[in-house]
Amino acid sequence: MGTSGVDWSQAAGVGKSLLFSPGVRFILAALLLLLKALVHVPALDKESKANHPPPFWIRALLILTCTGVSFAHGSNDGQKGMGLIMLILIGTVPTAYALNKAVSLAETQTFVAVTHEVSVVFAKYAANAPPSLNPRDDTQAFVRTRQISSTSVPAVKQLTDTIAQQVSSSGSLASVPQSNIDNVRNNMYLVSEAIRLMERANQPAFPAADKGVTDNYKRPVQNSHEGAIYFFGDLLTLGT
Tens of pLDDT, residues 22-48: 888 889 889 988 887 887 777 667 777
Angle of helix 56-92 relative to helix 208-239, nearest 10 degrees? 100
Tens of pLDDT, residues 74-115: 777 766 776 677 666 655 555 545 566 666 778 778 888 888
Q: Domain ranges in the chain? A: 8-41, 97-239
Distance CA 122, CA 118 (A): 6
Angle of helix 181-201 relative to helix 152-170, nearest 10 degrees? 140
The percent of residues above 70 in pLDDT, for the chain, comes to: 74
Whole-model pTM: value is 0.58
Average pLDDT for 114-128: 87
Distance CA 240, CA 233 (A): 11
Residue 74 to residues 17, 58, 69, 80, Cα–Cα distance (Å): 18, 24, 8, 10
The total number of residues shown for the chain amounts to 240
